[in-house]
Amino acid sequence: MHYDFVIVGGGSSGSLVAGKLAEAGARVLVLEAGGSDRNPLIQIPAGFVKLLGVARYMWFYQSSVQQRLKGRQPVVPTGRVIGGGSSVNAMVYIRGQATDYLPWVNATGDEGWGWPALLRRFKAMENNNRFNNELHGVGGPLSVSDPVHVCELSRAYVMAAQEAGIPFTPDFNGPRQAGTGYFQLTIRNGRRCSAADAFLHPAKNTGRLEVLTGCLVHRILIENGRATGVEYSREGRTETVKSDREVILCAGAVATPKILMLSGIGPHFHLRDMGVATKVDLDGVGQNLQDHTEVPVLAFCNGPYGYFGQDRGFNQIRNGLQYLLFKSGPVASNGVEACSFFDPDDLTAEAKIQQFCVPSVYLEPGTTDLKPTYGVTLNSCVLRPGSKGSVRLATSNPKDQPIVDPNYFEDPEDLRLSIGGLRQARRILASKPLRNMIDREIFPGSVSDTDEALADHARRFVKTVYHPVGTARMGREDDAMAVVSSNLKVKGVDHLRVADASVMPTIISGNTNSTTLAIADRAVSFILNGHAD
């Protein structure tokens, strides 16, 4: 069967593109490597925590050896399910800073990638339960709401951050991002509102949308310089499908460059080494990988504060009943309700760090044998990392994982800012009322106070914030490292487009899901109108 559009990836961007194209009258096929998003744990806000280590719902990309991390190989997970990251993330709704988008305009020469134009898209897709003003919209398909449940540790953190010099803000997507406060979340009536919930599932009623799960895409079919379809495997069989209009890659910043390279689109010498015939020599494919990283400060509490033990025994039964009956209580929480944005060098300046307050003991598996107990973890994330990595093929076998090199701390400024975030986290822990709940700091520990000691701690514990972007970045036609042009078409191949986080020239200041949706929304405008603004 032929389709107008074949969309590779049913994650955040694929859900929006597929849903909007089907609503516009096109015949659309979505090929998703993962499975269904109907697991109740996906729909329950707190349930995603149980899925983060489950291979059925996540890809776990083993990074290459990181020399600056003393040989560590941190895992870079991404979503592997309908809705992608929006089905397994913490539902945080952040758009970044307006100035984040200036490099996008500079890279492309297209004002449509600037903040004023993208703000119109953010507002149009948003259905906010608190704000309706020049920065926020209501009536859109993506529900954005205040947290239903906020625990006492999160409230104490926000109060302590204010005492430590960070002013309160009611809206991280307001006129100024910097400040401390509570996230707004993509939740609707106490349930997750993923991109699939907002855009994909409603479009199934058109009868023009087909979604196939368990489909591992091998390569794009290219004939006479035109993308004509996709080769993929499903249930042990290799199949092909044709597209009459376009193939649209929405597989994410790791899988999208992998598929491009397996299709013969990428750096010629690398493709030759992998035994893949070069069809389009594009040096930028797989380059420019950027990701947010975070470094923790962890402290034990002196009482039963936070979420430890809330998912077991009597607490589990009580909390489950409260959620089923009233859609409230700990099960209605996303597990990370509070945050601060700040510059560790100048608290009056625009933010360079995003600090998450996790009301529990949280560290990556394998980094320590510390036993879970009552505690709090303050994770400081560098918002605009200077370090850039890459994605490369390991073999020409589509079933093999690519080589992901995030190149953490390549830029010394990332490490310096991380240390500043650690110091500010300690100031917050020492401030009222949070300090009244703290027994002692565990990591880095009170003896670790020099920059050298904190740097060692950062190298040991730094981890991804699950925001890889940039590996098929957009740029001007004469930019040799740009993979797609301003309209998101792949250079050198007709009828092939990328519409996911891969195209970001630079990462934004905060969680990337909403911006990925804005990219996908603009891709739809290009496809349907021939232009976007």
Same domain for 153 and 274?
no
Cβ proximity of 245 and 26 under 8 Å: yes
Structure tokens at 284: 């930028």
Give the mean model confidence (pLDDT) for residues 524-533: 83
How many C-beta atoms lie closer than 10 Å to residue 56's C-beta?
10
Indicate the pTM of the whole model: 0.97
Give the mean model confidence (pLDDT) for residues 282-288: 98
Whether residue 6 lies inside any domain: the answer is yes
Whether residue 161 lies inside any domain: the answer is yes
CATH of the domain at 236: 3.50.50.60
Give the mean model confidence (pLDDT) for residues 465-482: 97
Same domain for 327 and 311?
yes
Name the pLDDT band for 400 (thresholds 50, 70, 90). very high
Name the pLDDT band for 324 (thresholds 50, 70, 90). confident
Same domain for 162 and 204?
no
Same domain for 350 and 448?
yes
Same domain for 205 and 267?
yes
How many angstroms separate the Cα of 392 from the Cα of each of 249, 269, 320, 492? 17, 12, 44, 20
The whole-number pLDDT of residue 314 equals 81
Of the three residues 440, 461, 482, the one that is the final residue of a domain is 461
Spatial distance between the Cα atoms of 254 and 25, rounded to a whole number of angstroms = 31
Cβ proximity of 523 and 488 under 8 Å: yes
Residue carrying structure tokens 């269904």: 36
The whole-number pLDDT of residue 513 equals 98
Q: Which of 218, 467, 495, 531 is catalytic?
A: 467
What is the chain's length? Answer: 533
The whole-number pLDDT of residue 310 equals 82
Same domain for 303 and 354?
yes
Name the pLDDT band for 311 (thresholds 50, 70, 90). confident
User: For the ranges 118-122, 325-329, 382-386, 404-408, which has the lowest average pLDDT?
Assistant: 325-329
Same domain for 308 and 433?
yes
Spatial distance between the Cα atoms of 8 and 526, rounded to a whole number of angstroms = 18
Same domain for 244 and 311?
no
The whole-number pLDDT of residue 370 equals 75
Whether residue 200 lies inside any domain: the answer is yes
- For 216, the domain range is 1-61+71-144+184-288+469-533
The whole-number pLDDT of residue 446 equals 75
Spatial distance between the Cα atoms of 215 and 198, rounded to a whole number of angstroms = 23
Element housing 136 (H / E): none
The whole-number pLDDT of residue 319 equals 85
The whole-number pLDDT of residue 366 equals 58
Task: Give the chain's domain count.
Answer: 2
Quick: pLDDT tens for 329-362: 999 999 999 999 999 999 999 999 999 999 998 7
Same domain for 114 and 226?
yes
Whether residue 300 lies inside any domain: the answer is yes
Give the mean model confidence (pLDDT) for residues 202-226: 97
Name the pLDDT band for 449 (thresholds 50, 70, 90). confident
Quick: pLDDT tens for 141-164: 999 999 999 999 999 999 999 999
The whole-number pLDDT of residue 325 equals 87
Same domain for 237 and 344?
no
CATH of the domain at 426: 3.30.410.40
Whether residue 66 lies inside any domain: the answer is no
Burial of 205 (C-beta count, 10 Å sphere; 0-12/13-18/19+): exposed
Same domain for 132 and 268?
yes
Name the pLDDT band for 60 (thresholds 50, 70, 90). very high
Burial of 274 (C-beta count, 10 Å sphere; 0-12/13-18/19+): middle
Quick: pLDDT tens for 423-443: 999 999 999 999 999 999 998
Name the pLDDT band for 532 (thresholds 50, 70, 90). low
Whether residue 424 lies inside any domain: the answer is yes
Structure tokens at 163: 């005492």
Beta strands 353-358; 375-382: pairing state: antiparallel
For residue 114, report the phi and psi dihedrals to the nearest 5 degrees. -85, 170
Chain-centroid distance of CA 497 in Å reads: 20
Give the mean model confidence (pLDDT) for residues 348-377: 85
Quick: pLDDT tens for 20-55: 999 999 999 999 999 999 999 999 999 999 998 899
State yes or no: pLDDT of 368 exceeds 70.
Answer: no
The whole-number pLDDT of residue 365 equals 61
* 270 catalytically annotated: no
**Percent of the chain at pLDDT above 70?**
98
How many C-beta atoms lie closer than 10 Å to residue 268's C-beta?
14
For residue 496, report the phi and psi dihedrals to the nearest 5 degrees. -130, 130
The whole-number pLDDT of residue 530 equals 76
Of the three residues 461, 493, 522, the one that is the final residue of a domain is 461
What are the DSSP calls for 39-63, one per residue?
Answer: -HHHHSGGGGGGTTT-TTTEEEEEB
**Percent of the chain at pLDDT above 90?**
90
Same domain for 305 and 454?
yes
Quick: pLDDT tens for 176-189: 999 999 999 999 99
- Rounded to 10°, the helix 412-429/451-461 angle is 100
Give the mean model confidence (pLDDT) for residues 459-466: 95
State yes or no: pLDDT of 126 exceeds 60.
Answer: yes
Whether residue 389 lies inside any domain: the answer is no
Whether residue 402 lies inside any domain: the answer is no
The whole-number pLDDT of residue 90 equals 96
